[in-house]
Amino acid sequence: MIRDLSERVGSFGMMRLLAALLALPVAISGYPAIAQAPELPMLSSVERGLWQLRYRSGSGPRNVCVRSGQELIKLKHGGSDCSRFVVENGAKQVTVQYTCQGNGYGRTSIRKETASLVQIDSQGISGGMPFELSAEARRTGACR
């Protein structure tokens, strides 16, 4: 039966049919096709406030106001609307891969040493140019 169907619709048609059948449970259930990324408890456990990033490359420090911990993921894509995929979601380390439609992508790993000290490694493409950064981030006070 499958062979007969395959001969009738051809390989391209068969691929389209299979894709439609695989999408059917999602369409019937009413859930969106792309699931929400899981929460990141490790980032929720870092202290809120003003954080200073000191880059290992030697470039000048940068201040970031941390309200949720999520701000530390997209340092090169701050205001961009991005989708994300959580690669690692541990108690002491998270790794997130994200894509910002029309503005590049990145992969960031954040390792928590204490609630006020983390290590960040990130790389990707921003504004059409590759980037790689490695930094230590430390809470320095309240956001202004």
Q: pLDDT, tens digit, for every residue of 32-75? A: 334 455 689 999 999 999 999 999 998 899 999 999 999 999 99
| pLDDT tens-digit map of 108-138 | 999 999 999 999 999 999 989 999 999 999 9
**pLDDT, mean of residues 78-94:** 91
Please tell me the total number of residues recorded for the chain in this structure: 144
Residue reference for tokens 């019937």? 28
- The predicted structure's pLDDT at residue 78: 80
3-state secondary structure of 85: strand
The two beta strands, 62-66 and 49-55, are antiparallel
Domain residue extents for the chain: 1-34, 41-141
